[in-house]
Homo-oligomer: A and B are copies of this chain.
Amino acid sequence: LPEPVLKKAAEQMLDYNGTGMCVMEMSHRSPEYEEIIKSAESSLRKLMNIPARYKVLFLQGGASSQFAMVPMNLIGKTGTADYIHTGTWSSKALSEAKKYGTVSVVASSEDKNFTYIPEADLGIFTKDASYVHITTNNTIEGTVYTKLPQTGEIPLVADMSSDILSREYDVTKFGIIYAGAQKNIGPAGLTVVIVREDLMGRQLPQTPAMFTYAIHAEHGSLYNTPPTYSVYIAKLVFEWLLDFGGVRAIEETNRKKAAMLYDFLDESRLFKAPVVKKDRSIMNIPFTLETDEQNKKFLKEVEKRGMVNLKGHRSVGGMRASIYNAMPVEGVKTLVNHMKQFEMENK
């Protein structure tokens, strides 16, 4: 999280804007709280240029809940849906969808351990698919779609958990965008869902009320008590990002940060980047040394220097730098310097 956001949150902990209350203590039906949630929505709409025909929902349960919520709300139309399989998270999404209808994996990069994004032309999609599901940025594998699949009339549904607000996306290309907030927005326990109005109201009969987009939309995300404090922190992050210059400005910074790492990786004789160049994520950058022993040694050394969370996922191994919006350029510089030093010392 950006430091100015945390400072403001600390300042307002015992008194939000002269109310004498912490946001956590406010009724979600109070005018003060309604102002917070409306302002959060309006800032997000501005940041992502979200058209009025899309609803913005602030929900709970993370992307893992959306893995079921998407099919429960959409697959009923035809009973079938298409998934593009690009890693751990798309795997979870499609397993969950199978409970509710026929799921076709129309493209996959499993053959090369998910180190690329497969081609997806209009021709590959099932004719009566209710939707096509993609994971725009693959957190664990470090890949990203640089070109969106052309799905024609079939709504494109995207899990954008790890790259929402990190780069510009044209919202009108999607039927639904969803994202767990804990990467680029901040607080865990909040899920942002952007859903095209005409896709609501198609839920299966056994869909829980809390898993029904139409119900949350009808109540402006206040069907039940929302995660009030997380929405407030998200609002602060959105405002910080607007001050920063918006998504275009942060994307530029993110590309610079990522380039620093990739440039070094491509020159290094010791470190390797497994992902093909054209599909490289600017958020999650996996890299490896030649042996597991070297990986362990490197991780141990950087941890001593206070750099945590650099271990790669067990399915990929090695290291992974997650350089979300809030990571300052300095942080990436420091990491690259450590890598250079390690290379020097371990030639």
Contacts and interface: CB of A to CB of B under 8 A. Distances in A.
Contact of A227 (B1, B24, B188): B188
Interface residues of A, number: 54
Contact of A189 (B60, B186, B206, B306): B60
A228 interface: yes
A209 interface: yes
Contacts of A317: none
Nearest to A211: B208
A20 to B, nearest CB: 8
A4 B10 CA distance: 14
A205 interface: yes
A295 interface: no
Contact of A230 (B68, B189, B226): B189
B99 A206 contact: yes
B309 A24 contact: no
Nearest to A205: B99
A298 interface: no
A30 B309 contact: yes
Contacts of A188: 24, 28, 225-229
Copies of this chain, tallied across the complex: 2
Nearest to A210: B65
Interface in A175-218: 180, 182, 186-190, 205-206, 208-211
Contact of A209 (B22, B24, B72, B96): B96
Contact of A6 (B13, B205, B306): B13
A228 B149 CA distance: 35
A190 B190 CA distance: 11
B13 A10 contact: yes
Given A10-B14, A27-B309, A229 B189 contact: yes
Interface string A48-79: 00000000000011111101110010000000
Interface in A64-112: 64-65, 67-69, 72, 96, 99-100
Contacts of A9: 13
Contacts of A211: 68, 208
A341 B61 CA distance: 47
A28 B100 CA distance: 30
Contacts of A205: 99
A293 interface: no
Interface in A1-23: 1, 3, 6-7, 9-11, 13-14, 20, 22
A128 interface: no
A30 B3 CA distance: 21
20 contacts: A1-B22, A6-B13, A6-B14, A10-B11, A24-B187, A30-B308, A30-B309, A60-B60, A61-B61, A61-B65, A64-B223, A65-B208, A68-B210, A68-B211, A72-B208, A180-B225, A187-B228, A188-B225, A188-B228, A229-B229
Interface of A: 1, 3, 6-7, 9-11, 13-14, 20, 22, 24-25, 27-28, 30, 60-65, 67-69, 72, 96, 99-100, 180, 182, 186-190, 205-206, 208-211, 223-230, 233, 306, 308-309
